[in-house]
A = this chain, B = another copy of it.
């Protein structure tokens, strides 16, 4: 796009922001602290018209059917139509750090910087062998999977460390999904975390063949200033003390949660308990929940974990789905029945990304007291949807082609497979 086009577009959208208060169902939005003053596009935002479509055809029609100087108004019209027809679907337009969407307070402009999700964890290279094939080295790591999955829902800002060997095309894949990679530290002369493993015939078990921590051994996440005002924080599986330190670097975070593993549960129990006490949600698998609580029964285990601090617990059960627990209710999502599971690596992380990405995009708040049960249920399904896509190809390959339309279609498929 030429600079004058961009300027015209900016003007049109700025006009829209001022001139069409009818877009905002709740006009208090227009005067709240969430109205943003700077309109400079994010450097990684490559979309030629600053528009990101997440739901239906209306937004694309606004782009294609209208001349440039009408586009702002057209987008307003189409958004209104989309919001009215799909009241539960966050419709997402990005313009700089602003988002025109149907958020928690009605349709209006939200500050994407506040709404964005900060993801902390490993970015790695993986060697994986499954009954369907073998890849010696490909992009992996929990933060990679989480960020890719979440990026379909909300702006993501990643914090990680890589070595000099980290490939330009892998950084570009993240950037192409509009993930803010300014928090990825590259260690000069260092090598990226490498993991290799092989899956059993039924892919329910895997054996680790090699773990080279490399630069990840000294990972001490530091949040760029531009990350700290984000409302949402998802902490991948790293040492609990580091998870705690990241949380304390945030200003006014609304919703924090993350993952952990048997190693921290067994050998760093005190540190872990101190860390998760401050979390809003914890996302672990069934054996971890049993280990953490000391109860075999899943319902009792969940009750016990909820007493440790988190208001929300999601227990992942692999191919059998996931269960979300709060003090008031629980919600069970089955695992999607794939015809071919090529590579389950990262499925749990993609669950986390879909879950938290959806909640971020929906403006979920716990600090208001209480949670929106319907929102949490949907988030579990979006998590399951993203986990299921992850398994369809090796590594992160599925995210090179996945569209928001496919996500919605699978969400509907979950509905039709479980509704009675």
Contact = CB atoms under 8 A, between A and B. Distances in A.
Interface in A374-420: 374, 377-378, 380-381, 415-420
Q: Which of A320, A339, A374, A415 has the most chain B CB within a 10 Å cutoff?
A: A320
Contacts of A169: none
A134 interface: no
Nearest to A298: B337
Nearest to A201: B296
Given A297-B341, A337-B323, A332 B201 contact: no
Contact of A299 (B321, B334, B338, B374): B338
A222 interface: no
A7 interface: no
A329 interface: yes
Interface string A150-186: 0000000000000000000000000000000000000
Contacts of A374: 420
B330 A332 contact: no
Contacts of A298: 337
B332 A337 contact: yes
A417 B334 CA distance: 11
A206 interface: no
A202 interface: yes
Interface in A217-261: none
B323 A320 contact: no
Secondary structure call for the A interface: mixed
Contacts of A330: 337, 417
A208 B418 CA distance: 35
A106 B296 CA distance: 47
Contacts of A378: 420
Nearest to A296: B202
A317 interface: yes
Contact of A297 (B339, B377, B415, B416): B339
A26 to B, nearest CB: 25
Given A320-B317, A323-B337, A332 B418 contact: yes
Nearest to A339: B299
Contact of A300 (B321, B339, B416): B339
A299 B378 CA distance: 24
Interface in A267-316: 296-300
Contact of A332 (B297, B334, B341, B377): B334
A13 to B, nearest CB: 34
A337 B381 contact: no
A332 B417 contact: yes
A340 interface: yes
24 contacts: A202-B296, A297-B339, A297-B340, A297-B341, A298-B337, A299-B339, A323-B337, A329-B417, A330-B337, A330-B417, A331-B417, A331-B420, A332-B334, A332-B337, A332-B417, A333-B334, A333-B418, A333-B420, A377-B419, A377-B420, A378-B420, A418-B418, A418-B420, A419-B419
Given A317-B320, A377-B419, 18 more contacts: A202-B296, A299-B337, A299-B338, A321-B334, A323-B334, A330-B337, A330-B417, A331-B417, A331-B418, A331-B420, A332-B337, A333-B418, A334-B334, A374-B420, A377-B420, A380-B420, A415-B420, A418-B418
Interface of A: 201-202, 296-300, 317, 320-321, 323, 329-334, 337-341, 374, 377-378, 380-381, 415-420
